[in-house]
Copies of this chain bind each other. A is one copy, B any other.
Amino acid sequence: MIPVRGLPEVREGDDVAGLVAAAAELEPGDVVVVAHKIVSKAEGRVVRLDEIEPSAQARELAAGEDPRRLEAILSESARLVRTRPPLVIAETRHGFVCASAGVDASNAPEADTVVLLPEDPDASAARLRDRLRELTGAVVALIVSDSFGRAWRQGTTDVAIGCAGLRPLLDLNGERDSVGYELHATVIAVADELAAAAELVRGKLDRVPVAIVRGYAVRGEGTASELVMPRDRDLFR
């Protein structure tokens, strides 16, 4: 687990892969975990609150907080899952269920702005991975991560919202010997575990947005969209 130190503050248009390649010595097979915040900033997924006109629903949900922030959350939501104003748990267009539809005011580039999730985090991951290969020659796996709360449990853990060069789910079904086992423990969300592990070395306050997991046996190919529970199997919709 290697934190990538010394990255500058990222701005719209920046070459995030170039910054990572300059700050770290990548090796083939590394898993590079990038906090979505710097991906979003580089992709211009930042909204100025003074350009937002809050709707009546946003005002209602704000409960004394800034209704423009709630409007940004509503704009990013495909569906509201739970609300307790000003707290909103929403499903994003990607299918992720998370607080504030991933809209975050922390680490925003300036006051009175909010950072949104990347439009297509799997595409962001694939682009970063390709660019890292171009710049360094190293074939790596790439995870774009965010901190998600969980139902029934306190605190956030980092999960993969974008993924490239790695199968995000490790399916042990072929190797199980027990039918009863099938229901709950044969598929491991390794991309989420890698994101969580990376968070431990990145920290939140040290402003280290990238970490490398070295020595993990990367398998297969896939996208973080596979981590979204399909509608027909989801008991919690």
Contacts and interface: CB of A to CB of B under 8 A. Distances in A.
Interface of A: 1, 65-66, 69, 82, 84, 86-87, 89, 91, 95-100, 104-106, 114, 147, 149-159, 168-170, 172, 175-176, 178-181, 183-185, 187-190, 192-194, 196-197, 199-200, 204-205, 213, 216, 226-230, 234-237
Contacts of A178: 105-106
B97 A155 contact: no
B228 A153 contact: yes
A2 to B, nearest CB: 11
A106 B181 contact: yes
Count of identical protomers in the assembly: 2
A185 B18 CA distance: 28
B65 A187 contact: no
Q: Which 4 A-B pairs have the closest CB atoms?
A: A155-B189, A99-B184, A197-B197, A105-B180
Nearest to A114: B180
Contact of A183 (B100, B151, B180, B200): B100
